[in-house]
Amino acid sequence: MPDVEMKPADVKPVKETEEKKEESKPAPLSPLAEIKSNVVLIDRAVTTLEPRFTHRVLRTLTALRKRIDNSVLRNAVESLYPKDHSIKKTLLAWLPTGPSSSDQAMDVDSSARPSHHELVPEAEIYLRLLILYHLLASEDTQEKALELANQTAEKMQAINRRSMDAIAAKIWYAVDRAYELAGELSDARPMFLAAQRTASLRHDDEAQAALINCLLRSYINYNLYDQADKLVSKTTFPPSASNSQFSRYHYYLGRIRAVQLNYTEAHTNLQQAIRRAPPAKTAPGFYQEVHKYFVVVELLMGDIPDRSLFRHVVLEKALNAYFEIVKAVRTGSLAQFQSTLSKHAAQFEEDHTYTLIIRLRQNVIKTGIRRLSLSYSRISLRDICVKLHLDSEEDAEYIVGKAIRDGVIEGRIVHEKGWMECGTQKNAYGPEVSEVFGRRIAFCLDLHNQSVKAMRYPLNAHRKELAAAEGAREREKELAKEIQDGDLDDEDLGPDF
């Protein structure tokens, strides 16, 4: 029998499949079409009482506000409102006059075209939010943005609709940003406090979370850490707040605790802020800011940050000065620490970490003393003073005595002969190790609990399982009854019974 030649199966070229995939991808909407589509979603959220549509609109806000300009906003307002409408005139008054772009008006999906009925007030507030972000992007229109922010906040509070809560949280952040760019952040504090009380009474969790963060930002900006701590103690941050709001709250809380010398709690809050923060490439500024404080707090706790942290693409350039501080603390060189501090003092002042970094001087000295205790069994106070660049032997004696009392080194000071005798090193196992393991276990349990709370379960899923279990029990009872009555034999039951 002759061999049959097997023909290879038809294999589609890779290029053809890739071209088909590219063709199947829908073309991205233009900014004008996206605004109209978002207005339709907001209207649906109000009519159906489904806030998820509003949240879907707000998720696109970060990318959309980078693509809008005067012509896009003007065309959106003119197409959404009929001619001679009062709201239309009010919104167009905030935009500079200019020719409308007919090209963008033509590139609109017909399915995203809103109906001709009156738009809901939430749509107007959303358009005001877009205009406000556009005005804040330019230094020439920041004063105009402040006027629009005040007017929008007053109108939003006068309307008072629960379907506006998600947009209101974004509005309050934009108002805070407008006051900050105008240099009048303290003037907005009474308005934020009144709005926070109102949001708390109305159980408006989203606006309440945004307002608490705005108030903490205002207090910290003016170094009012005591008032910020009182606000934290008197308020309860809503547990249903978004991850971005939680991240900001933990960041501010970490800064407050670091100033209050509570480094352990500050380290925990900054860790939570990093975990809950948006991806590094999405929000690089916030990611860098949190890590600057995280590195300093970790040094103040006596730990050395991981070297891979300073090789991160987003953090490498921003943490260059802090990496030099870490090297000075790690080697225990007081001269290197002082030179690095004076070299990058301007950057530390700008980052508001200068006062915290000054506290690291004691850590540098302790590290140097620990290295000396490992190298020498006995060393004079004069040599300690020279090696650590201290002012006098009295300072060296005081610092060594404090290090011995705090348990940094094992040894004793011989005052008569003016030297320090170093003892044997402490055992690596003891209560300190159990405390470290206890903190790690507590962190893992807390992470597990938060992960369980974040899971979403289908409604009434347990009822199906209960019904199935009840049906199985009924079948077992019927089967047992038939066996007792003698209606079934062993052969009828089958071999698996």
Looking at per-residue confidence, does 144 or 12 come out higher?
144
The closest alpha carbon to 192, from 273, 178, 125, belongs to 178
Whole-angstrom distance between the N-terminal and C-terminal Cα of the chain? 53
The closest alpha carbon to 63, from 314, 289, 281, belongs to 281
Q: Determine the pLDDT at residue 133.
A: 86
- Percent above pLDDT 90 for the chain: 9
Indicate whether 457 pLDDT > 70: no
Looking at per-residue confidence, does 26 or 269 come out higher?
269
Indicate whether 101 pLDDT > 50: no
Pairing of strands 411-414, 419-422: antiparallel
Q: Looking at residues 372-380, what average pLDDT do you find? A: 76
Lowest mean pLDDT across 7-21, 27-41, 163-177, 235-249: 7-21
Indicate whether 103 pLDDT > 50: no
Residue 104 one-letter amino acid: Q
Most confident of the ranges 264-273, 417-426, 459-468: 264-273
Q: Determine the pLDDT at residue 215.
A: 92
Q: Looking at residues 423-428, what average pLDDT do you find? A: 55
- At 249, the pLDDT band (50, 70, 90 cuts) reads very high
Indicate whether 177 pLDDT > 80: yes
Looking at per-residue confidence, does 249 or 29 come out higher?
249
Q: Could you give the C-alpha distances from 2 to 5, 8, 29, 265, in angstroms and in order?
A: 9, 19, 61, 82
Indicate whether 342 pLDDT > 50: yes
- At 105, the pLDDT band (50, 70, 90 cuts) reads very low
Lowest mean pLDDT across 31-40, 169-178, 201-210: 31-40
Indicate whether 488 pLDDT > 70: no
> What is the C-alpha to C-alpha distance for residues 131 and 112, in angstroms, rounded to an integer?
21
Lowest mean pLDDT across 208-222, 310-324, 398-412: 398-412
- At 406, the pLDDT band (50, 70, 90 cuts) reads low
- Percent above pLDDT 70 for the chain: 83
Q: Determine the pLDDT at residue 248.
A: 92
Q: Determine the pLDDT at residue 256.
A: 93
Looking at per-residue confidence, does 23 or 259 come out higher?
259
Q: Determine the pLDDT at residue 251.
A: 93
Q: Which residues pair with 412 in a beta bridge?
A: 421
* Distance, CA of 453 to chain centre: 18
Q: Determine the pLDDT at residue 491.
A: 54
Q: Determine the pLDDT at residue 22.
A: 45
- At 490, the pLDDT band (50, 70, 90 cuts) reads low
Contacts of 381 (CB under 8 A, 6+ apart): 393, 396, 397, 400, 413, 418, 419, 420
| Global pTM value | 0.72
The closest alpha carbon to 105, from 84, 83, 82, 80, belongs to 80
Structure token digits, residue 243: 């991850």
Most confident of the ranges 68-82, 226-240, 460-474: 226-240
Q: Looking at residues 267-271, what average pLDDT do you find? A: 91
Q: Looking at residues 10-31, what average pLDDT do you find? A: 55
